[in-house]
Structures are given as C-alpha cells and as structure tokens.
Amino acid sequence: MKNLKIFVVSDSVGETGEQVVKAAATQFRPNFDGVIIRRFPHISSDDHIRNIVEIAVMQDAIIAFTLVEKRKRQLMKDLCQQLNIDCIDLLGPVIELFSRKLDEQPLEEPGLVHKLDEDYFKKVEAIEFAVKYDDGRDPRGILLSDVVLIGVSRTSKTPLSQYLAHKRYKVANVPIVPEVEPPEELFQVDPRKCFGLVISPEKLHAIRKERLIALGLSDDAIYAKKDRIEKEIAYFYKVVEKLGCEVIDVTNKAVEETANDIIERLERLKNMS
C-alpha cells in the first residue's frame, strides 16, 4: 500500500486547507491509513516557502496551499515546478474567479475568516453572559463582567445589557431595592466599570404605571407610587456614593445613546491605562 504525505501550507492557521485535504483523502483511505498530513501555518516569508518546498522534496510530499497573496502563490508554483513537486493551489483559483466577477482586487489579508468567526463567537458569548447574569440573579457574574449596571426597577438595565452584549461587552446588571442589601461582589469590582442608571421620578412613575396596566394589575400599587419611587432613588444614590461609580441619567435617552455613552467612557479609560 502506497503512503501519501501532504504538506498543508497557509498564511493563516491552515484549517481550510487541511479540511479539503482530509475530505479528498477519505475517498481513498477512509481511516487515513498511510496518510500523513502536516500543517505549516502562518507562512509569512519567501524563505519559509523555499524551506517547505525543500523539505517536501526530501520527503516526497505533495503540497496543498492556501495563500491569499498572489505573489506568494506564484512563488510556490514556480518552486514546485522547478523541483518537480506536485502541488495544488486550493484558494487562488477561487479568489481569481471572484476578482473577475466582481471586477475588484482582493485584500490579500490572511486570516480574515477567522477574525470574523472570532468576532461572532465573542458576541454570542457576551449575549449568553448578559442573559445569565441579568437582574442580579447570580452575583458571581459581577466579578467576571466588563460592565456592571445598577439601578432601580425600569431604568432599562436589561435592554441596555443586551445592546452592549451585541457590541461584545460582558454585562451584569443589579437591581437596587431598599429592602435588599446589594451583593458583596458589587463592592469588589473596579468602580470605573460600574454605571448607575437613574431616571426622573416623574418619568419612572409613568413607566411603572404603564407596566402595571400591561400586566393587568392596578396602577395604584405601591410599586408605582411616587413616595416609593423617591425612596428607591434616594437609596440608589446612597449605594452609588458607597461604590464611587458614575451615574448616567437615562430619562430622555434611547438605549443606543446610553450604550454609546458607556462605550465612550470605557474607551477613554482603556486609553488612559
């Protein structure tokens, strides 16, 4: 039984090339008997390409490559032809076809697919985080978060958490209620990543009344009474003072506007450190 050795050469991680090679190899050796696949990732220089081709000559290997830069693809082809090495360009023909169809030049930037994948999974992770640590349901998330939001009920903590999560920030939010002591974890985080959300008593009164009506309840419940709201806001400011965090008035702000405000503050903080 003949052996088959394939070098997978890439200017990125080489996953794409390896999957194509494996898919083809299984048509001959479903169990990969006698098939050796060696990956050469992050190839960035002409010398790397020359060295790989020389090794392929010594080991009688086939070279399958995914190189986004046209000049490097051509160098690989030329060297393999000179040294009588079988090679296959897995990516070049597709790039060239797309270039002709779009009448555009490719970026020739390695690893873009993986950057997109990484960005997507970070977003999903942040969204799942926001759901898991919403409304103070698990205070352990406070210490793991990028942003902590605190505020009395109906100050847009949850929608703001979700909006920031779509921007890849891990957010935990904690309701502030006079009868409930804030979790200890809240006083252990950097106050600069903690933001208190406040709203005018009049606006909050109207929002809470609408909420009660939507739930089919009486709008004169304690939850919506003005003296109760003023008590909650007064307690909120006591907690904020103890924490030393910034306060954002969300009375007349859309969620997007508040989120952008927070992101700008975080970016300034990052640039200062």
Binding residues for ADP: 151-158
Phi, psi of 4 (to 5 degrees): -130, 120
Q: Are 147 and 170 in contact (CB under 8 A)?
A: yes
Q: How many residues are present in the chain?
A: 273
Q: CA 15, 17, 23, 26 torsion: positive or negative?
A: negative
Please report, in range form, the residues annotated as the binding site: 151-158
Residues 249, 196: Cα–Cα separation, whole Å: 8
List alpha helices for the chain, DSSP H: 15-25, 46-59, 70-82, 92-102, 112-132, 157-166, 201-214, 226-243, 255-272
State the DSSP H helix or E strand holding residue 193, giving kind and residue range, or none if neither.
none
Q: Are 163 and 259 in contact (CB under 8 A)?
A: yes
β-strand partners of 71: none
Query: Strands (DSSP E) along the chain, which ranges?
Result: 4-10, 35-40, 62-66, 87-89, 147-151, 171-175, 194-198, 246-249
Residues 89, 113: Cα–Cα separation, whole Å: 18
State the DSSP H helix or E strand holding residue 81, giving kind and residue range, or none if neither.
helix 70-82
β-strand partners of 8: 39, 64
Q: Which amino acid is at 230?
A: E
